[in-house]
A and B are shown apart, each in its own frame.
Chain A
Amino acid sequence: MNNRYIKAGITVFPGSNCDFDVHHVLTDIFNVNTSFIWHKDKPKSCREYDFIVIPGGFSYGDYLRAGALAARSEIMGLLNDYADNGGIILGICNGFQILLEAKLLTGVMLTNKSLRFECKYVHLRPFNMDTPFTCAIKDNAILKMPIAHHDGNYFATSKIINGLNKNNGIIFKYCNVTGEITEDANPNGSLYNIAGISNEKCNVMGLMPHPERSSEKLLGGEDGGYIFKSIIKYIKEK
C-alpha cells in the first residue's frame, strides 16, 4: 500500500489527546505521510496537505463550551481557507465540536441526555456514500465504532436540519446492530440519531465516534478504518 505521497496533517491544541492515535493509524496502518500541526504554528497555508484531521480530546479543557476556544485559535483561520478551497477536513469527537463552534459545520452539541460520559461501542449507518469519508464503505454496511464523550447530543434548528437534508449532509446516524434507527440505539439524545454531518460541499465532516480507535483487529475491529480508506480512495481517484 503505497500512500506515502499522500500528506495528512493533524491539528494539535492544548488538551488534544487522540492526536497520536490518529497519527499511528494513518502512519502505521495506512502508510500515509502524516505530520502534526501545533495550533500556534503559522504555516502560510494548509494547502500542502491532502487532508486534515482535527482529533478528539478536551481542547482547552472544554472551557466555556466544548471546542469553543480552539475554534477561535489562529490555526482555524487557515482551516477556514483550506475548507473554502475544497480541502478535506475530518473532525473526530472534540474535533466535531470544534468544527461546529468554528461554524464550518452547522448546529451545536449539548450535554448527553443521560448526563453521563458515554464510553461504549455503537453502530453507525451511513446515509451518503458519495463523500470523501464514505466512498470506500460497502453498500448496506453497518459500522461498529466506539464513542467516548460527554457532549455529543447534536442539536439544531429545523432550518439547519432542512439544509442538511437538502444537501445529503447527514452522513451517519446511530443505529442498532441490524441498522434500524431506534431511540435505544441513540447513546446521547442526539437529534434524529445524528452521529456525523458534513458541510454543503461535503469536504468537511464531523463524526462523534472514534474511527481511529477501531482501525485494527488488535483493538477489536477495523470498521473505523473505512473512514480513512475512503479518504485515501477519494484522494487517489481525484
Chain B
Amino acid sequence: MSKKAMIKITLKEEVLDPQGKAVLSVLKSSGYNNIKDVRVGKYIELFIDSEIENQRSSKDDKNAKNKLDKEIKEISEKVLSNPLIEEFSITIK
C-alpha cells in the first residue's frame, strides 16, 4: 500500500500572524465571541512512490523506515517550511 506523509506547518508562537488576526476579527464581527485567537498554517501531503518504498522495505524493514522518516524531515525542514518563522509536524500513514 502506498504511504502518505502529512505535514502540518504552523507559524512559531512569537511570530505575528496578520492573517490569523484578520480571521479573528471576522469571527468576532460575525458574533463568535468565544474564539480568543486564530493562527493560520499550511497542510501539505506527500505521496510516497510505493515501488521504491517496497524495494527499500524488502531489504531491511527498519532501515527503510528510518531512511524515509529522515527524508521527509529533511524535505519539511529545507523546502516546505522556513525554520526562522515556522514549525512543522509530520504524520506518516
Q: Indicate, yes or no, whether A interacts with B.
A: yes
A residues neighboring B (CB under 8 Å): 64-65, 68, 72, 101, 107-108, 110-115, 155-157
**A to B CB contacts below 8 Å, 10 in the list:** A65-B82, A72-B79, A101-B82, A108-B84, A108-B85, A110-B16, A111-B19, A112-B18, A114-B18, A155-B85
Main secondary structure of the interface of A (DSSP, over half): loop
Q: Is the CB of A107 within 8 A of B19?
A: no
Minimal beta-carbon separation of A22 from chain B (angstroms) = 26
Using a Cβ–Cβ cut-off of 8 Å, how many residues does chain B contribute to the interface with A? 10
Q: Is the CB of A64 within 8 A of B19?
A: no
Within 45-65 of B, Cβ neighbours of A (below 8 Å) are at: none
B residues neighboring A (CB under 8 Å): 15-16, 18-19, 22, 79-80, 82, 84-85
Inter-chain pairs besides A108-B84, A110-B15, A112-B18, 20 sampled, C-beta below 8 Å: A64-B80, A65-B82, A68-B79, A68-B82, A101-B82, A108-B82, A108-B85, A110-B16, A110-B85, A111-B18, A111-B19, A113-B16, A113-B18, A114-B18, A115-B18, A115-B19, A115-B22, A155-B84, A156-B84, A157-B84
C-alpha spacing A155/B82, complex, angstroms: 12
Residues from chain B with Cβ under 8 Å of A115 in the complex: 18-19, 22
Minimal beta-carbon separation of B20 from chain A (angstroms) = 11
C-alpha spacing A72/B80, complex, angstroms: 11
- Closest B residue, CB atoms, query A101: B82
Counting chain A CB atoms within 10 Å of each CB, the highest count among B22, B80, B84 belongs to B84
What 4 A-B pairs have minimum CB-CB distances, sorted nearest first? A108-B84, A115-B18, A111-B18, A108-B85
Minimal beta-carbon separation of A116 from chain B (angstroms) = 10
- Closest B residue, CB atoms, query A116: B18
C-alpha spacing A155/B15, complex, angstroms: 9
